[in-house]
Amino acid sequence: MNIPAPVRHPETPAAATVRLADKGLYLPLPDQGEAYFNYHWLRDNCPSSFDAGTRERSFDIFHLDAAPRAAQAVIDADTLVIDWQGEDHQSRFPLTLLASYTTGRPRKDPADKRRRAWYSNHYADVARFSQPDLMAQDQKVAAWIEALLIEGVAIITDMPDTDAGLTELAERIGTVRPTFFGSYFDVKTHINPTNTAFTAAALELHTDTPAEEHAPGIQFLHCRANSVEGGRNLFGDGVAVANDFRARDPEGFRLLSETEIPFYCEHDTYDMRSRQRVIELDEHGEVSGLTISQHMLDMIDLPQEFLDDYYPAFCRFGRMLQEEKYVMRFTLHAGECIVFDNHRIVHGRAAYTASSGDRYLRGCYTDRAEMRSTYRALTTEGRFKS
Ligand SMILES: [Fe+2]
């Protein structure tokens, strides 16, 4: 007798079950397995907590009568639905949103780009953009910021020969950020100079205004005239030098990246002071840049015995910064504006003959955090756009 095999019905997959615990719940997530979420976090981040207009959190967890706790929680298609104990409130979370918060690591930042070190031969490859293009095209602004995030430097061409041309350019990245000497500065020879920059002398490689608690992030130098003899521009990538220093001189690197030293800027009406590390590391432990300025380095007030080790390391690094391998030399022309990360790129100039012609650079700064904000807004959708 031929008995037909029983027909097998495909098994209905077991409904994914949410397990409630004392302080949070366990949620099965597609491709990730079970993940834990704290009740405070869930209640605080209920999508209804955020105002559609302001895009800010309008819910105030401090006003809950008791610690939040789920009365029940179920998965409905691709959504977690929670009914809260003691509250007439239901939360609905897209599972994709929850899936991006399971690692406990900072959320992905599109502006967190890997830096690319550059050397003395970089001039031909420096990212270049024309000012009128940047004024007209958001995509160009995004590419410009990307260059600043990755290489820390860009040259803007076709600058209008006006003060407004610089302001308009800077405002494509952020707000002009004043320092204690004002919103803009003019680099030309002054009769009574209060700063080495305002003389015709050579200017060693440095970052600007290290004596401020938060030195400005992005520097703009708009060349309005340059017909002098000498005065070549010198630029170097602090990341390139510090990365090589890390390999060449690990103990020196440790001293320079861990020790705060004093910087100052002092004259008749001001006395700015700050303490900074020469080599700065980012949240990944990677070199993010430098703070260095021989003309604004204060008399180091650390224990003299400690300086037996620190000073030689500081000098080894300072000399390395000036090695030919790292120094990009060129002449900035009238109508160009060099834009660079003031916490990464060191800049200086050779001496020039003041009587040989005109040399006029007009500068300002914007903020790095605001630049990253502009970049994210230009390149991503954001979480709250409808
Ligand atoms: Fe400077």
Q: pLDDT (tens digit, 9 = 90+) per residue, 262-284?
A: 999 999 999 999 999 999 999 99
Tokens at 176, concatenated: 């002009």
- Lowest-pLDDT range of 39-43, 244-248, 379-383: 379-383
Token code pair at residue 332: 């900035």
CA 297 to ligand 1 center in whole angstroms:
14
Radius of gyration of the chain (CA): 28
Q: What is the pLDDT of residue 337?
A: 98
Question: Rounded to two decimals, what is the model's pTM?
Answer: 0.89
CATH 3.30.2020.30 domain span(s) along the chain: 19-99
Residue environment code for 272-295, b if the CB has 16+ CB neighbours within 10 A, otherwise e:
bebebebbbbeeeeebbbbbbbee
Distance (angstroms) between ligand 1 centre and the Cα of 352 equals: 16
218 C-alpha to center of ligand 1: Å? 12
Average pLDDT over residues 127-154: 98
Q: CATH assignment of 120-378?
A: 3.60.130.10
Q: Which residues surround ligand 1, an ion (CB under 5 A)?
A: 208
| CA 121 – CA 216 distance, rounded (Å) | 27
The fold for domain 19-99 equals NE0471 N-terminal domain-like (3.30.2020)
pLDDT in tens, 71-90: 999 999 999 999 999 999 99
Give residues with Cβ within 8 angstroms of 310, minimum separation 6.
Answer: 255, 259, 261, 300, 302
CA of 17 relative to ligand 1 center, distance in Å? 62
Q: DSSP characters for 189-203?
A: --SS-SSGGGSSS-E
pLDDT at 189: 67
Structure tokens at 100: 């991006």
Give the pLDDT confidence of 312-331 residue by residue, as tens digits: 999 999 999 999 999 999 99
First to last CA, the chain: 66
pLDDT recorded at residue 198: 66
Per-residue pLDDT tens for 208-223? 999 999 999 999 999 9
Return the SS3 of 180. Answer: coil
Percentages helix, strand, coil for the chain (3-state, rounded to 5) are: 30, 30, 40
The pLDDT of residue 351: 78
Q: Please report which confidence band the pLDDT of residue 255 belongs to, taking 50, 70 and 90 as the band edges.
A: very high
Distance CA 119, CA 125 (A): 11
Report the separation in Å between the CA atom of 207 and the middle of ligand 1, taken as the mean of its atom positions: 6
Q: Is the pLDDT of residue 229 over 90?
A: no
pLDDT of residue 15: 52
The Cα-based distances of 20 to 24, 46, 59, 89 in angstroms read 7, 17, 23, 17
Distance 212 CA to ligand 1 centre (A): 14
Residue ranges, comma separated, of all CATH 3.60.130.10 domains in the chain are: 120-378
Whether pLDDT at 200 is above 80: no
* Residue 137: predicted pLDDT: 98
